Amino acid sequence: MKAVLVLEDGTVFEGTGFGAHAENFGEVVFNTSMTGYQEILTDPSYCGQIVTMTYPLIGNYGINPEDMESRKPFGLGFVVREFCEIPSNWRSEKTLNQYLKENGIPGIAGIDTRALTRRLRNYGTMGGVIATGDKFDIEDMKKRVIGHPDLSGTDHVMRVTIDKSYTLHNDGYRVVLMDFGAKDNIARSLHQLGCEVVVVPATTTSQEVLALNPGGIMLSNGPGDPENVEFAINSVKELFGKKPMFGICLGHQIIGLALGGTTYKLKFGHRGANHPVKDLATGKVHITSQNHGYAVDAESIPKDEVAVSHINLNDGTVEGLRHLHLPIFSVQYHPEAAPGPWDSDYLFSQFIDLIKQERR
């Protein structure tokens, strides 16, 4: 099966197809992780996107049911340099090819992913169309991709959030996790520390959250432009000061907007498991897992209320916020990893400590 990837600037990559026989439009992005393609595919933050892996060999350890980060893959396409059809791992239950085919996701292999990544770095993420099959009308695809809605014009949160609440029971503090596209390891990380975790849909109101009588509130990661989830921003405003709050990724951006700040789109985003972040309180540098295309503008944050707690050492962007008077903090990266390093999992313990302090 043949495959083609056409970017909105007219660039064409031709390769070998795998996965589903399909044609999908989306924002083309790249991820620099060396492992974890299964977790990346099932991260809801990739909703609406065609994901390029910069590490060349993908598929070599197959797919297993234990490493899923959500109920299904949400990406629209998968781009790799070398696709492994015969995995070698005792945990593997199916091939990557089978998994993508079952979920209607087309893949392309055999293209120069370095050239694609350099183009995205130089000119920024852009729309694209990925297709697999036998024949393609390239000129028609170039025309259609230009008119396709981009990621910033679509609210993807409502596509990925759960339909109804569920609970991970435990004996510790109750934490309400607002699901804007949550990776499962956020709830698992809290549960492993003894918390009872109540996962609720993104549209849950502040009154409904407080009616659950939580010890703390967690705001999850998720896809798309944070300014598109105004309903969540308004709910979070109403929850400020009521309970300790911890935001991750999109949750961090929502907190920034609710505090009166602004966000902006990054040129090519941060996606990978090797991003250095400096904790300004301790001076320590942590290697972090990241997946986001937007950032909070440091100059827009009210300095008398909020401090920037972490910065990205690659480009100086805001990686964390901490309220100076209320029990609220957030990080732009993923302390739950999956995939990625565990340098920052201590933040979950800090959140629980904050709940303990408020209970005294």
Q: For domain 2-153, which CATH number applies: 3.10.580.10, 3.50.30.20, 3.40.50.261, 3.30.70.270?
A: 3.50.30.20
For the chain, the domains span 2-153, 157-359
**Mean pLDDT across the stretch 129-154?**
85
User: What one-character-per-residue DSSP string does 275-336 give?
Assistant: EEEEETTT--EEEEEEEEEEEE-GGGS-TTTEEEEEEETTT--EEEEEESSSSEEEESSBTT
Residue 196 Cα distances to 3, 169, 173, 247, 323, angstroms? 46, 5, 6, 18, 25
* Number of neighbouring beta carbons within 10 Å of residue 118: 12
- pLDDT number for residue 338: 95
Are the beta carbons of 277 and 308 closer than 8 angstroms?
no
Q: 157-359 falls under which CATH superfamily?
A: Class I glutamine amidotransferase (GATase) domain (3.40.50.880)
Per-residue pLDDT for 172 more than 70? yes
| Position 233, amino acid | I
* Number of neighbouring beta carbons within 10 Å of residue 360: 4
Per-residue pLDDT for 149 more than 70? no
- 306-359 confidence digits (pLDDT tens): 999 999 999 999 999 999 999 999 999 999 999 999 999 999 999 999 999 988
Q: Pairing between strand 245-248 and 196-201?
A: unpaired
Are the beta carbons of 78 and 100 closer than 8 angstroms?
yes
Is residue 39 classed as helix, strand or coil in its secondary structure? Answer: helix
Query: Any catalytic annotation for residue 249?
Result: yes
2-153 matches 157-359 in fold: no
Count helices and strands in the chain by DSSP H and E runs: 10, 19
Residue of 31, 11, 46 lying closest to 129 (CA atoms): 11
Say which of 156, 286, 323, 334 is annotated catalytic: 334
The DSSP element (H or E) to which 222 belongs, if any, is none
- pLDDT number for residue 341: 95
- 315-330 confidence digits (pLDDT tens): 999 999 999 999 999 9
Query: Any catalytic annotation for residue 334?
Result: yes
* 147: phi then psi, degrees, rounded to nearest 5: -90, 5
- pLDDT number for residue 150: 58
* 179: phi then psi, degrees, rounded to nearest 5: -90, 100
Question: HSE (CB half, 13 Å, CA atoms) of 264?
Answer: 8
- Indicate the DSSP class of residue 23: E
Say which of 249, 252, 270, 292 is annotated catalytic: 249
